[in-house]
Amino acid sequence: MNFSSRRRIIAAGLSIMLALSTIMPAAAQDIIRFGTALSLTGNLATEGKLVREGYDFFVKTVNERGGIDVAGKKYKVEIVYYDDESNVNTSVKLYEKLISEDKVKFLLGPYGSGITIAVSNLTEQHKLPLVIAHGAASTIYNRGYKYIFGVLNSIDHYTYNMVKMASEQKLTRLALLNENQLFAQLGIDGAARQAKELGVEVVYKEKYSSGTKDLSPELEKMKAARPDMIIAGGYTNDMILLARQIGQVGLKPKLLGYLLGPTLPGFVKSLGAEAELTLEPVQWSINVPYKDQIFGWTAREYADAFQKVYGHVPDYHPIQSTAALQVYYNAFQKVGGFDPQKVRDAIAETDIVTAYGPIRFNEKGQNIAKSMSVVQIQDGKPAVVYPADVAETKLKLNP
């Protein structure tokens, strides 16, 4: 082959590469990519799995409908996932990878308040929006950050209705116990403040170390304080252990509440009768009176559609994930494009109603448009018992 022929071949190859370089970005623009690192393994994996189901359900729903319409063009949705193994440092590294290597501009929160605080430090530095579905600690939102937005009620709302119920039932002696972990500590500290406001005496308040395998010493001390209500804060496995050992030490409170646990898959199955009449504040329930303005669902219709895909009725975790992506959906449509700063500004002006509930953010990025309900396990199933306007049935006290 002579020099002239080789030059023509090289020139042709360069022409093809140039053509591909112009075609491929256009094709890539037909997809909106989100990124997140979730606790898919490790001690938060139970909750992390539910979080992912809610994100994936949004993707499935949107893509089956042709994608998100932005300025007259349809865009399919993808999510880049990594497993942070329930570890803060791992999560931060993975979000750095999402931003720096994967070039993801639109980020979804991880699971858990401690991890969210660390991750949001990074996303704020990069000036990229982070829509948080599962970070409830009020400290996340009290730092003056401009790129974080949480669709859920913050932790200072969790226990209020449970404490208020206790006061209305003339229960005046409250015991509090929590894992020495941010979410649980803030929730239980909030309960102590609310008890004082509502005229309920805190007769016991302690914390235990993460990884504790025996809570009976704490429960024996609690028993001596003679509480008529207990509120405990920790993650699922700890709360299952606590429920078992409360019975073993002979504690018999009139009301027993958790920051989370009873509505999660596996709680009732693991405990059987020991789960009966336990309480949990929930961000959402099937009978909340909202209709989704994006997908047209009621809360119950969301739950039915979700169950057909995943084989179980969703608790509040999946729909919180779905709602976070709906915030982005709404912002893209308002902006008519994908400039991160303009999308961030549109998110700040969010005012929508979803099957999860209304979403409107204050200057801190907290959702100030919705409230929480309290569920109680009755006959093996969670039922909303408070407040009265959304209650499915009446609260029952332990005998």
Question: What are the pLDDT digits (tens) for 141-154?
Answer: 999 999 999 999 98
What pLDDT score does 4 carry? Answer: 42
Residue 23 reports pLDDT greater than 70: no
Domain 27-156+287-372 grouped into CATH 3.40.50.2300: yes
Domains 27-156+287-372 and 157-283+374-386 share a fold: yes
In sequence order, which residues have a C-beta less than 8 Å from that of residue 360 and are 6 or more positions away?
Answer: 350, 351, 352, 367, 368, 369
What pLDDT score does 6 carry? Answer: 39
What pLDDT score does 265 carry? Answer: 76
On average, the pLDDT of the chain sits at 91
Residue 75 reports pLDDT greater than 70: yes
What pLDDT score does 83 carry? Answer: 98
Give 74-106 as a 3 state SS string. EEEEEEEEEECCCCHHHHHHHHHHHHHCCCCCE
Question: Per-residue pLDDT averaged across 182-200, rounded?
Answer: 95
Percentage of the chain surpassing pLDDT 90?
82
Residue 167 reports pLDDT greater than 80: yes
Find, among 53, 40, 36, the residue nearest to 305 by Cα: 53
In three-state secondary structure terms, 379 is coil
Least confident of 60-64, 247-251, 263-267, 292-296: 263-267
Q: Comparing 256 with 7, which gets the higher pLDDT?
A: 256
Q: Name the CATH superfamily housing domain 157-283+374-386.
A: Response regulator (3.40.50.2300)
What pLDDT score does 29 carry? Answer: 52
Find, among 322, 316, 321, 330, the residue nearest to 373 by Cα: 316
In sequence order, which residues have a C-beta less than 8 Å from that of residue 43 and are 6 or more positions away?
Answer: 86, 235, 237
Determine contact, residues 183/136, Cβ cutoff 8 Å. Answer: yes
Percentage of the chain surpassing pLDDT 70?
93
What pLDDT score does 16 carry? Answer: 37
Handedness of CA 340, 341, 345, 346 (dihedral sign): negative
Question: Per-residue pLDDT averaged across 80-103, rounded?
Answer: 98
Domain ranges of the chain: 27-156+287-372, 157-283+374-386
C-alpha distance from residue 322 to each of 126, 313, 338, 380 (Å): 24, 15, 20, 27
* Strand partners of residue 81: 36
What pLDDT score does 2 carry? Answer: 45
Find, among 96, 91, 136, the residue nearest to 112 by Cα: 136
Question: Per-residue pLDDT averaged across 323-351, rounded?
Answer: 98
